[in-house]
Structure 1
């Protein structure tokens, strides 16, 4: 029978997961609605895009210092501050909407500050997961987190559209409630989420930040994985943007185009269910290599048949293995990172990935306008192939075994997570 301590940890992860699933749906819904409201108020596509860009800027700009905070202070309090600020910020938009005082500067300020909150939350959350989840259960826990993202992707846009159709401010009121749910669920966590105790005088924050970056840069596995994940995000997201923009140019309706995102979300959920089974049976390194190449065969049909069902099928098939790859290699990275460095290592890797993401629509737009949709997809396919070579030719990635053998790969200073 599971021990009381194990039951408490299961309770804590469940509380964290439920709160973040609800909050993730709300946040993605709001990001869908932000450009709609901004365009309705201004008629400017540039300003509409700026609202989402400000959110991404807030996330990327906060991640590195947030990693330092996660390794210095109680992660539960950090997450409570981030969730509480979401309640206040989105609540302020709802109140302004009710009073008829909603303005674009207010929207932009909330977009930026909620991005800051998301960046603050992320390293603290992953450090908390490491604390409350036994090492052998990390792949399953991160697979559940992958499922959370795809459920949010599937639900958020339709929900946002329905609420927006009722009244403009309603999505913000609902999102404030989702952050309140997250706040309450975080309050139910019983495990002490304080960072590891530090022997001797504590280094300055800047030195802490340098230590995290130095750890990533000095180890081939972390260095390769960080470079690959950033470039892979750029390539795959640009490919997705080109496919969607090409469908829009082809005159297809919003319902048909929505089929693509629904297919991606549905496939991601199925992939997240299969992920623990795949991770347990396949060497994590070779599973990662397979993920790197999985989108390549799908480029050809997308290039030659500009149809929603073709794009939906291709993106959906490409997403099936994605949760297993993300959860597998992510779990390994957490398992072999010294606990006292986890927040900084995670934030460094996420910073690179998030910094690349705003470039994806820019790259997609430039290619689409200069060489046309078909050539743009083939060019991005070639770029994706080059990016896939990074983990394929890396011995440090290929050598990662199945989870049962991860213990021998722990970095100096890492300790086993108690069951």
Structure 2
């Protein structure tokens, strides 16, 4: 499997990765600032939560039509339009802040529209990746994307807090610049990112969307991942929320809580570095099952000891294998998907996977309030074990081999779809 060094020599991947790393740091920083600034303007916790909720709503709502678009239109054009929209939207907030004219409706509209932009960008990027890198490089490239997400999570909150402390408009100005960097670097891509030309009668968007959903649901492997992805996102994110809320309840200061989140981000970066090595050496199905169970042993220490160091170590340990699982299974999913369906298949998977995430804080708060911290963590541990059984008992997941055998293993499914 190619190393990170070989990918660094790939001009187009490097431009795409650097641009999106800068943009993702800016976006996560703004998402950290939105609720804080909304609360400063209104004093309402409900409106502060709404600022992040409408962003997620815009993102989820855009994913399915974006998948259809990614299979019909030049993906570079889609990504550049989304980046240009980010420049204009965040610049509007920066200008309003400079003029001391920031309002909550303005913040909410920008949060919603930048969520739509992110939802449009994601299927286009993942559909473009197989054209930018070789099939052998794909797991390593996706591991680097995992590292990008964890780097953004690690630095965005401290950076956002620092800039917000200097001036209310400054985080948005910096984010507008980050989108401009992404737009410029996307313009340097040399690869043709146009989808496969369509020969035949005019296509109807709703039918194309239905074709993508039908393909996902008709394949046992994709169907299991669809269910497992949504449930594991719910279980793990709820576990994370309970652990953090429990520390807040016990009076742990913000600095130590921030260090807990930083530890999880740092572990994710380390996991992303070793992910290509793990993906190459272990059968993807077995690796997926191992990751499904990886959070379970961490439940007991978190339930027994409500200490920042214990929570940081437990969550960090849980994040170590996560990038390898995400990179491996995402790479195989692309290998097993016909090229003209990649955008719709990825969008469908991402939409369902993200649909359960807004329920995680609600589930965490309900369990914590009803049963207390230790019982809530144990209950979520039991839920996590039930969720882990989904891929464990699925032969279509367990039987996926190492990347060296993917092409032979996935070929019948791709041929049948074609």
Is the shorter-chain TM-score for this pair beyond 0.5, marking a shared fold?
yes
- Per the alignment, residue 146 of structure 1 pairs with 146
What is the distance in 1 between the residues matched to 2:66 and 2:29? 24
What is the distance in 2 between the residues matched to 1:342 and 1:212? 8
Residue correspondence of structure 1 range 15-414 to structure 2 within 5 A: 15-411=15-411, 414=414
**SS of residue matched to 1:202:** coil
Q: Which runs of 5+ in 1 are unaligned?
A: none
**SS of residue matched to 1:135:** coil
1:403/1:101 Cα in 2 relative to 1: closer, same or farther (>3 Å)? Answer: same
Q: Which runs of 5+ in 2 are unaligned?
A: none
How does the TM-score come out when normalised to structure 2?
Answer: 0.96
1:13/1:414 Cα in 2 relative to 1: closer, same or farther (>3 Å)? Answer: farther
CA-based RMSD of the aligned residues comes to 1.5
What is the distance in 1 between the residues matched to 2:215 and 2:86? 32
What is the distance in 2 between the residues matched to 1:8 and 1:174? 26
Q: Is the 8 A contact 2:153 2:265 kept in 1?
A: yes
**SS of residue matched to 1:410:** helix
Q: How far 1:295 moved relative to its partner?
A: 0.3
1:142/1:219 Cα in 2 relative to 1: closer, same or farther (>3 Å)? Answer: same
Q: Is the 8 A contact 1:338 1:412 kept in 2?
A: no
What is the distance in 2 between the residues matched to 1:202 and 1:237? 42
What is the distance in 2 between the residues matched to 1:237 and 1:411? 35
Q: Deviations over 1:70-113 (max 9, x none)?
A: 00000000000100000000000000000011000000000000
What is the distance in 2 between the residues matched to 1:412 and 1:166? 58
What is the distance in 1 between the residues matched to 2:7 and 2:362? 47
Q: How far 1:372 moved relative to its partner?
A: 1.1
What is the distance in 1 between the residues matched to 2:7 and 2:28? 31
Q: How far 1:199 moved relative to its partner?
A: 2.1
Q: Deviations over 1:18-54 (max 9, x none)?
A: 0000000000111111110001111111110000000
How does the TM-score come out when normalised to structure 1?
Answer: 0.96
1:118/1:7 Cα in 2 relative to 1: closer, same or farther (>3 Å)? Answer: closer
Q: Deviations over 1:362-395 (max 9, x none)?
A: 1111111111111111111110000000000000
What is the distance in 2 between the residues matched to 1:319 and 1:329? 16
